[in-house]
Amino acid sequence: MTTTMDGVLSARGVCKSYGALEVLKDLDLDILPGKIYGLIGRNGAGKTTLLGVLTAQNTLDSGSVTLDGEPVWENQRALDKLCFSRELQASLFTGQNTLKVRHYLRSAAAFWPGWDQAYADRLLREFRLDPKKKICQLSKGQMSMVTILLALASRAPITILDEPAAGLDVVMRERFYQLLLEDYAETGRTFLVSTHIIEEAASVFEDVIILDEGKILESCPTEELIAQFHYISGHEDEVDRVCRGLQVLSTHQMGRHKTCAVRGEMVKLRDAEAADVDIAPMNLQKVFVALCGHGDEQP
Amino acid sequence: MRGSLSDQSLIYLQIASMLEDDILRGVYREEEQVPSTNELARAYNINPATAAKGINLLVADGVLYKRRGIGMFVAPGAGEKVMEKRRAAFYESYIRPLVRESRSLGLGGQALLDLVSRAVKEGENDL
């Protein structure tokens, strides 16, 4: 049973609603130790709720979340091993978020037993963050840097980042993934990272989890998933012939020219190679659009 | 090594093929160490597991071998092995598409052979 394996974070039958809005629908997920997972999903798919539920920051209506087979809810042993670095907010219910960066980090240091202060100091310098500044005075990018710093320096065996790349410029985003890979090479701990900027992160994710309308659509090695998807294009008659028996996810027609996004093993595609059609691979972003576009995408 | 990866084929295959290219070019000679999975991961911002998959492919083909506790090394005769492998794939990946394209252009078999001989001659003159 995977649920009793060491270091596995498991969700079973998780349901979560906000009022009448069902956000997570009978969801199962296993996060295995020592991997970098990417979590992708459209706006409102339930990503942040899922991450909150996995780390006992949100309640759930039914189902269970366990680490090493023990429920995570109000379980200090489990919570010591989990870090969900949430997006910072410039304003809170009470008004502006006037907490200073160094106080925010001091509470993090008190919370995680593995907190690495030297690492935190190094990242503060690298990100040129002023610890005396109030959170409400930071730019969006600087807020992202604080959440990244907290996640990395927590040294928690399972570290979760929600949209860490949002608000960062392209140089900082590349640097972030470098830092993530450096830390991973050193510690081999588990990372779970959600992002909307899919393509530049795809090569960093060993496994990808696609969340769609509150359900896990896919959870598998990134390259295995990508390898199943292709575009087939050419004369409509030829394309239709080749696509017979393949799962067609979307089609686009221009006169007699037709392009189909298909899912199928390469074996079946052997026929396509012999026909007069073009076969092109997809990247993760295209796979995501094909699976989760629900017809909203511009053809 | 090439500067960056494309999304035209799987990343581990690209890593394997880049290492092969560099072995053919003499960037890595026999019995020399190749970059580690972590070095490759850092250089290309890819997951170390993906880099390892590329390297393991070359180990399975006998192009690289592992020295325990040290790293991955270019096997003796690796260059010849890479060439053999690529010769075996040459028909499927170059010749058949070439014939297919020539047919769709209405070039007959003889016309294609003439073009090939011309290219071969021109290649000889370039040397």
Mean pLDDT on B1-29: 85
Domain-embedded: residue B1 = no
Mean pLDDT on B34-63: 93
Q: What is the pLDDT of residue B2?
A: 47
Q: How far is A206 from chain B (nearest CA, A)?
A: 6
User: Which of B34, B60, B76 is where one domain is finished?
Assistant: B76
Contact (CB<8Å) A206/B10: no
Domain that holds residue B106: 79-126
Domain-embedded: residue B4 = no
Domain-embedded: residue B3 = no
Would you say A112 and A155 are in contact if contact means Cβ atoms under 8 Å apart? yes
Q: Are residues B43 and B16 in the same domain?
A: yes
Report which of A37, A19, A28, A34 is spatially closest to residue A65, judged by C-alpha positions: A28
∠ at Cα A47 (A46, A51), nearest 5°? 115
Q: Could you give the number of structural domains in chain B?
A: 2
Instruction: Please name the member of A203, A223, A227 whose beta carbon is closest to the beta carbon of B45.
Output: A203
Q: Could you tell me the domains of chain A?
A: 2-224 (3.40.50.300), 228-292 (3.30.70.1710)
pTM: 0.86
Q: Are residues B66 and B111 in the same domain?
A: no
Side-chain-side CA neighbours of A171 within 13 Å: the count stands at 1
Mean pLDDT on A276-284: 87
Contact (CB<8Å) A185/B48: yes
CA distances from B11 to A20, A194, A265 (A): 43, 21, 18
Q: How far is B77 from chain A (nearest CA, A)?
A: 30
Q: Are residues B71 and B20 in the same domain?
A: yes
Per-residue pLDDT for A111 more than 70?
yes
Contact (CB<8Å) B42/A35: no
Among A223, A225, A226, A279, most B C-beta atoms within 10 A, so best to mutate, is A223
Q: Are residues B19 and B72 in the same domain?
A: yes
Burial A269-281 (b: 16+ CB within 10 A, else e): beebeeeebebeb
Give the pLDDT confidence of B71-92 residue by residue, as tens digits: 999 999 999 999 999 999 999 8
Six token digits for residue B103 = 């047919």
Domain-embedded: residue B15 = yes
Q: What is the pLDDT of residue B35?
A: 94
Q: Are residues B27 and B52 in the same domain?
A: yes
- Please state, as a whole number, how many other Cβ atoms lie within 10 Å of the Cβ of residue A146: 24
Among B4, B5, B6, B7, most A C-beta atoms within 10 A, so best to mutate, is B7
Report the interhelical angle of B96-104 vs B109-126 (nearest 10°): 120
Q: How far is A205 from chain B (nearest CA, A)?
A: 6
| B125 vs B57 pLDDT, higher one | B57
Q: What is the pLDDT of residue A270?
A: 64
Question: In 3-state terms, what secondary structure has residue A28?
Answer: strand
Domain-embedded: residue B109 = yes
Q: Are residues B62 and B87 in the same domain?
A: no
Across chain A, mean pLDDT equals: 90
ipTM of the complex: 0.75
Per-residue pLDDT for A269 more than 80?
no
Per-residue pLDDT for A94 more than 90?
no
Question: Who's near A253: CB < 8 A, 6+ residues apart?
Answer: A236, A259
Q: Are residues B42 and B20 in the same domain?
A: yes
Q: Are residues B68 and B103 in the same domain?
A: no
Sheet of strand A215-221, all strands in order from the earlier edge strand to the far edge: A82-85, A158-162, A190-194, A36-41, A207-212, A215-221
Q: What is the pLDDT of residue A273?
A: 64
Q: What is the pLDDT of residue A296?
A: 67
Mean pLDDT on A275-294: 88
B35: CATH: 1.10.10.10
Q: Are residues B62 and B27 in the same domain?
A: yes
Per-residue pLDDT for A53 more than 70?
yes
Side-chain-side CA neighbours of A45 within 13 Å: the count stands at 22
Contact (CB<8Å) B41/A185: yes
Contact (CB<8Å) B42/A182: yes
Would you say B18 and B2 are in contact if contact means Cβ atoms under 8 Å apart? yes
Give the pLDDT confidence of A217-227 residue by residue, as tens digits: 999 999 999 99
| Top-confidence range, A87-101, A114-128, A231-245 | A114-128
Share of chain A above pLDDT 70, in %: 94
Q: Are residues B17 and B49 in the same domain?
A: yes
Residue A298, amino acid: Q
Q: What is the pLDDT of residue B117?
A: 94
User: Which of B76, B92, B117 is where one domain is finished?
Assistant: B76
User: Which of B40, B55, B76 is where one domain is finished?
Assistant: B76
Six token digits for residue B73 = 């090394």
Nearest CA in chain B to A285: B7
Q: Are residues B48 and B92 in the same domain?
A: no
Mean pLDDT on A245-273: 81
Give the pLDDT confidence of A74-83 residue by residue, as tens digits: 999 999 999 9
Domain-embedded: residue B114 = yes
Tell me the backbone φ, ψ of residue A121, rounded to 5 degrees: -65, -40
Q: What is the pLDDT of residue A2?
A: 43
Q: What is the pLDDT of residue A3?
A: 42
Mean pLDDT on A201-205: 92
Per-residue pLDDT for B57 more than 80?
yes
CA distances from A99 to A52, A135, A293 (A): 22, 6, 40
Q: Are residues B67 and B90 in the same domain?
A: no
Q: What is the pLDDT of residue A89?
A: 85
Would you say A191 and A21 are in contact if contact means Cβ atoms under 8 Å apart? no
DSSP secondary structure string for all residues of A175-207: HHHHHHHHHHHHH--EEEEE-S--TTTTTT-SE
Q: How far is A200 from chain B (nearest CA, A)?
A: 9
Q: What is the pLDDT of residue B1?
A: 44
Would you say A4 and A16 are in contact if contact means Cβ atoms under 8 Å apart? no
Question: Who's near A289: CB < 8 A, 6+ residues apart?
Answer: A297
∠ at Cα A68 (A63, A70), nearest 5°? 50
